[in-house]
Amino acid sequence: MDFQLLVDIFPQVFLDGIILGFMYALIALGYTMVYGVLEFINFAHSEIFIVGAFVGVELLLGLKSVGLLDGLPWPLVLVLALVAGMAASGLLAVTVERVAYRPLRHAPRLIPLISAIGISFFLQDLIRLFESLWRNAFNLVYPTIDVLNVRFELTQTLDVSVKSLVVIAAALLMLWALHVIVNRTKIGTAIRAVAEDQAAASLMGINVNRIISLTFLIGGAMGGAAGVLFGVQYGLINPYTGFIPGLKAFTAAVLGGIGNIPGAMVGGLVLGLLEAFAASYLSLLTGGAFGAEYKDIFAFSMLIVILIFRPKGLLGEIVRERA
Amino acid sequence: MSPYSVLALAAVALSSLAVATAPRSVLAFLAFQGALLFVYLARIPTWLRVGLLGVALLLLMPLIGAFNGYYLEVATQVGIFAALALGLNIVVGLAGLLDLGYVAFFAVGAYTWAIFGSPHANVIFGGGFPLAGAWFFAFLFVGLFVAAVAGILLGLPVLRLHGDYLAIVTLGFGEVIRVLANNLDKPINLTNGPKGITPISRPPAPLGLPYGEYFYFLVLLIVVLVVLVNRRLENSHIGRAWEAIREDELAARAMGVPLVRMKLLAFACGASFAGVMGVLFSAKQVFINPESFTFLESIGVLAMVILGGMGSIPGAVLGATVVTVLNLQVLKGLSLWLNELKNAGVTVLGYSLADLPTQFEPAKYERMIFGIILVLMMIFRPQGILPARRRQRELAHLER
């Protein structure tokens, strides 16, 4: 085993892990906010996330076809794509809640979960249907913006591309904004009140339904932003791409303590790092016997272990189980 | 003879005639299935019901298969999925444990026979394989046992989890099994990775029966056995204990229901049915690879259980039939029909169908079907099409 190699790749793997971690963190917010308020796993969040990526790619391809992709300054293009993705995903999340979850709010716990699984599958094929009719293709590639692919060589073994920096900056900015909204504004107070006790919140004059819609809007928008960033960073998307990152992000949310917003970030980063290291080191350490393919098993096994031994997660408080 | 009896007889006779005269028509075969459902539901004497169903399944179905072999394949698939749905019905419907990785047990059974029933085992153990086809019958029990053990292994760590967490963990378990099947071609080549295992031995068919018919009868036999086992279980103290756990774990425990043992038993029972069917599936297909055991399949089986009605045995069979026929016949039929229309240059409202994008194939939208079934059933009829009697009463009580 080449010890020097292990040391050399360390910084690059670490950076990749951080980027992946922020991606997971942004997606995890959608799961964790909804769980915090409704104690319900929004299984369709992975598709809400990938819809953001599709709206982003459609916008970029549209700009490209009218020749504006290189004409407009790239930060503006990126902001446009992010805003479009966030709006689409946020509205989709609100619609899904209104149509498929709200009628089931007082049903036994498994019923809305099954409905959410149904929505998840339905949306996957709906995206496929739409893109097949619209573009006659549903595996789409993000158009490249040259500036974003510039790489800086920091050291001999570590280089970082502009798009990675953009991903990290955007993720940090959004996490900070969410933190402010939830903790410093009146709306945030209302969200926390509804999460605490719906009946009491409604007695205090809070419109519970509206706050729940708002929670879905914010969580969905974060997912949509993550979708656009995912597309920019990794390039290739199809309607089924969202599922595994969604599941991992849920793992991240549970890892950090579900219902807990800083927890989602911590969980995302921990999971991203663990996965990046598993992907690059597992094969090296076992002499090729176990390859990077096992990183998925790694993530899921971790989910199982956490749920069994520390269900409240790293930062979480104990979430009351509803019957 | 009551008018219903006459109707039932006429329905079965006419629809079989229709299939015989128009063996390529999907509608005729659907009518035949509809006739069977009518026979099951109509108010006719039990002897007539059992007799008609027996004649239809034992005699008419193989005859139809002689006209159009594909229908026999569809019927066999329906049987396989019916057994899976009945197994999942125990875990989800009776015990109330939402298992999203159920197809993993199917995979365990399938790989058990695939490895030993094919030359692939030589890679692991040296020589002496494949085992002769007659071993297949022994492996039905081996598959049952191995899958049941897998069920207990999954059950043990997740016993403490409730509701949706349990669902996610079983989903993870299903994915783990699939990833393992995909990657265990090294360090020891157990599963041959994504390339899959082939050729898998088949049991010798008696009396020179064609394999299509033979596997149809095997599947039918297993489904009948599974239904009988299910019915006995449902009304036993075990079945009642499961339903008690589903309704209220705390109360069940207070009444002396051994939670751990009953939950493990539910996982083991559900898994064992899938294991048996897995063994049969691998022999029938001759070739298996991890593609057959994805999350999509788990959700498909779940959609069958939900559609028919959680906890309902006839519901699980009906759900399996409807979903399988939708997938194998209606969607594929739509695709073929659309292609015919395209080739014929048909225009709809001035839009030429030939201009439809080539990527648009109705046959590929099974996820959409599953999704629509799950959502609509949850919102409008959570008790399913043929609800279990006990379940029906509970949900009526909830809506009040």
ipTM (interface pTM): 0.89
What pLDDT score was predicted for residue B161?
81
> pLDDT class for B305, splitting at 50, 70, 90?
very high
CB contact A113 to B (< 8 Å)? yes
Please name each of the domains of chain A with its CATH number. Answer: 3-144+155-309 (1.10.3470)
Q: Do B172 and A304 touch (CB under 8 A)?
A: yes
The nearest alpha carbon in chain A to B296 belongs to A121
pLDDT at B395: 59
Residue B372: the pLDDT is 92
On whether any CB of chain B is under 8 Å from the CB of A139, the answer is no
CA dist., res. B234 & res. B242, Å (int):
9
pLDDT of residue A321: 42
**B398 pLDDT higher than 60:** no
User: What band does B392 get if pLDDT is binned at 50, 70 and 90?
Assistant: low
State the nearest Cα–Cα gap between A35 and chain B, in angstroms.
Answer: 11
Q: What is the pLDDT at residue B91?
A: 92
Percentage with pLDDT > 70 across chain B: 97
* Inter-chain CB proximity B172 and A137 less than 8 Å: no
- Three-state secondary-structure class, residue B115: helix
Put simply, the answer to whether A119 touches B375 (Cβ < 8 Å) is yes
**How many residues are given for chain A?**
323
For testing contact with chain B, the best of A114, A134, A138, A320 (most B CBs within 10 A): A114
Distance CA B272, CA B170 (A): 16
Q: pLDDT per residue over B344-370, tens digit each? A: 877 777 777 777 777 778 888 888 989
Residues of B in contact with A111 (CB under 8 A): 378, 382
Interface contact flag, B165 A307, Cβ < 8 Å: yes
User: Are residues B172 and A112, on separate chains, in Cβ contact within 8 Å?
Assistant: no
For chain A, residues with pLDDT lower than 70 are 1, 288, 316-323
Contact B375 A115 (CB under 8 A): yes
| Start-to-end CA span in chain B (Å) | 41
Question: Predicted confidence band at B66 (pLDDT cuts at 50, 70, 90)?
Answer: confident
User: Does the pLDDT of residue B259 top 50, yes or no?
Assistant: yes
pLDDT digits (tens, 9 = 90+) for B325-348: 888 888 888 888 888 888 887 777
Block residue for tokens 């229709």: B18
pLDDT of B394:
62
Tokens of B173: 């378990």
The residue among B368, B394, B397 with the most chain A CBs within 10 A of its CB, best to mutate, is: B368
| Option in B248, B364, B372 nearest A122 (CB) | B372
Q: Is A130 on the interface with B (CB under 8 A)?
A: no
Contact B370 A118 (CB under 8 A): yes
A125 contact residues in B (CB cutoff 8 A): 364-365, 367-368, 371
Q: What's the pLDDT score for residue B345?
A: 76
Residue matched to tokens 């692991």: B124
Continuous segment of H or E residues that includes residue B98: none
Question: Looking at chain A from residue 78 to 107, which residues have their Cβ under 8 Å from any Cβ of chain B?
Answer: 100, 103-104, 107
B197-252 pLDDT, tens digit per residue, is 888 888 888 877 888 889 999 999 999 999 999 999 988 999 999 999 988 888 99
Minimal CA separation from A235 to chain B, in Å: 21
Cα B91 to Cα B314: distance, rounded to the nearest angstrom:
16
Rounded to an integer, what distance in angstroms lies between the CA atom of residue B94 and that of residue B92?
6
Of the candidates A103, A301, A311, the beta carbon closest to that of B379 is on A103
Decide if pLDDT at B16 tops 90.
no
Question: For residue A118, which residues of chain B lie inside 8 Å, CB to CB?
Answer: 303, 370-375, 378
How is chain B split into domains, by residue range? 1-67, 68-399
Q: What are the tokens at B362?
A: 């109705």
Higher pLDDT, B159 or B286: B286
Q: What local confidence, expressed as pLDDT, does residue A320 receive? A: 44
Q: Is A192 on the interface with B (CB under 8 A)?
A: no
Helix (H) or strand (E) run with residue B222 in it: helix B211-234
- Do the chains contact at B180 and A297, CB–CB below 8 Å? yes
Q: Which pLDDT score is estimated for B393? A: 64
Angle at A178 between CA A173 and CA A181, to 5 degrees: 125
> Which pLDDT value is given to residue B391?
62
Which tokens hold the place of B48?
């007539």
